[in-house]
Amino acid sequence: MIRFDVSTLVEARPGSTLTLSVDTGPQCLTDLEVGFLRGTVGVTRVEDGLLVQGTVESQLRVACVRCLESFDLPVTLELEETFRLPGSGPNADLPDSVTSNGWLDLAPLLRELSWLEVPLKPICSAECGGLCPRCGANLNTDRCACESAEVDPRWAALKDLVL
Ligand SMILES: [Zn+2]
Ligand SMILES: [Zn+2]
CA–centroid distance, residue 151 to ligand 2 (Å)? 10
Beta-carbon count within 10 A of 81 CB: 15
Average pLDDT over residues 1-19: 94
Distance separating alpha carbons of residues 2 and 6, to the nearest angstrom: 13
CA–centroid distance, residue 138 to ligand 2 (Å)? 8
Helical (H) or strand (E) element with 8: helix 7-11
pLDDT score, position 146: 87
Distance separating alpha carbons of residues 62 and 2, to the nearest angstrom: 21
CA–centroid distance, residue 129 to ligand 1 (Å)? 7
pLDDT score, position 160: 62
Are the beta carbons of 73 and 64 closer than 8 angstroms?
no
Return the ligand number nearest the Cα of 62: 1
Q: What is the pLDDT of residues 100-123, one digit of tens each?
A: 899 999 999 999 999 999 999 999
